[in-house]
Every structure is written in structure tokens, then in C-alpha cells.
């Protein structure tokens, strides 16, 4: 089997609802999202699939959704969005001191991306997932997104990896269905 892996770095913060340790606090990482695809036969151009198609269909939409956002689960969003708007307004208004205006709203992803969406309380970017965004859940979410956008009769999504932190130690979550006997 031929395999390719394509990845993208994304800087965003998250909150893990109910966490027993420090992830209860809002905190950020420079994450790396990776998708590994495979095929028994190459296409007519000699590829499993062109890397540009993986970036366009999966990785860039993930970047647009998450870049410089605060990721949280739906339950946290529902309980806290009203509190985020005044904070967002205050943070965005700080641009007046440096720019003379509030500037333009940060861009995001239009609509849903595999159940996740952007919200902009007070002008700050929040990414809302239907689950609390742990690395493990993000890996499974990325797998489903890649499967929906990349698989055809020839190409299969083999696994996805989420690198939550790279320095000083690597912390990685993978999703690979049926990798081991059940």
C-alpha cells in the first residue's frame, strides 16, 4: 500500500470542560493536524492523491475554523457565550488605541465543518464543537472530516494525528480505526 501524510500547524486555545488538572483553564498551543491516506494503486499522475487536494479539502478548512480562536464544546458555549461578548467587546476596542478604529472582524469558516462552527461574541473568534475539544476527540473529528472529503473507491483515510504540543515534549493523539484486532 502507498501512503502519504499531509499536515498543517494551527495556533488556537481551548478549554476542557470538567478537567481535573490545568486544562480546566483557557490555554493555547500551536497544534499540528495530520492526515494519512493510502491506496493500493496510484492514480494516473502517480499519486495516492495530490497534496494540494488534501490541503484544500481538509487542512485549510481546519485552519480557517480554528486559527487564533478559542475552542470549546457546545455545553461550555451555551453556559458562557453571554459572558464572552462583553470581554470580546473590550478586547476588540483596544484596537482603537493603536489603530484608531476597531478594525475588521477576524475571518473564520462559513457554516458547519463536520459539526463545528465559528461564533464571534463581541468580535472575538470562538470555535464551538459538539464535544469538549480534547486531542483525542479532535483526532476522531479530523478523521471523519477527512473520510467525508477524501475517500473514494481507491483512496482510504488510514489515520489522523493531533499534535497538541511539540516542545519541550511531544503530546500526540491518534485516531486509526481497526488498527488493532478488536
What is the share, in percent, of the chain residues with pLDDT greater than 90? Answer: 87
E strands within the chain? 2-14, 27-39, 70-73, 117-119, 126-129, 156-165, 171-175
Worst-scoring range by mean pLDDT, 6-10, 19-23, 107-111, 136-140? 19-23
> Residue 179 has what pLDDT?
62
- Note the pLDDT of residue 98: 93
Q: Which residue range is the domain that position 157 belongs to? A: 2-175
| Domains identified in the chain, total number | 1
pLDDT tens digit sequence for 123-146 = 999 999 999 999 999 999 999 999
Is the residue at 155 inside a domain? yes
Would 181 be classed as within a structural domain?
Answer: no
* Residue 106 resides in a domain: yes
CATH of the domain at 109: 3.30.479.10
In a domain, 182, yes or no: no
Instruction: Tell me if 165 is assigned to some domain.
Output: yes
Listed in sequence order, the residues at least 6 apart from 33 whose beta carbon sits closer than 8 Å to its beta carbon are 7, 8, 10, 59, 62, 138, 142, 160, 161, 162, 163
Indicate whether 30 belongs to any domain: yes
Instruction: Write out pLDDT tens, residues 14-23.
Output: 998 888 988 8
Amino acid at each position: 500500500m502507498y501512503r502519504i501524510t499531509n499536515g498543517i500547524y494551527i495556533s488556537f486555545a481551548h478549554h476542557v470542560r470538567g478537567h481535573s488538572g490545568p486544562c480546566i483553564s483557557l490555554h493555547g498551543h500551536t497544534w499540528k493536524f495530520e492526515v494519512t491516506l493510502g491506496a493500493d494503486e496510484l492514480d494516473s499522475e502517480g499519486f495516492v492523491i495530490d497534496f494540494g487536494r488534501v490541503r484544500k479539502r481538509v487542512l485549510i478548512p481546519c485552519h480557517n475554523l480554528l486559527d487564533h480562536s478559542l475552542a470549546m464544546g457546545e455545553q461550555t458555549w451555551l453556559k458562557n457565550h453571554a459572558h464572552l461578548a462583553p470581554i470580546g467587546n473590550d478586547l476588540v476596542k483596544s484596537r482603537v488605541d493603536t489603530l484608531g478604529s476597531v478594525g475588521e472582524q477576524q475571518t473564520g469558516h462559513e457554516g458547519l465543518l463536520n459539526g463545528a462552527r465559528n461564533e464571534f461574541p463581541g468580535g472575538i473568534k470562538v470555535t464551538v464543537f459538539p464535544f469538549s475539544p480534547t486531542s483525542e476527540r479532535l483526532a476522531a473529528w479530523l478523521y471523519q472530516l477527512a473520510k467525508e472529503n477524501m475517500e473514494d473507491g481507491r483512496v482510504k483515510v488510514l489515520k489522523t494525528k493531533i499534535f497538541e504540543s511539540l516542545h519541550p515534549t511531544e503530546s500526540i493523539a491518534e485516531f486509526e480505526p481497526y488498527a488493532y484486532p478488536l
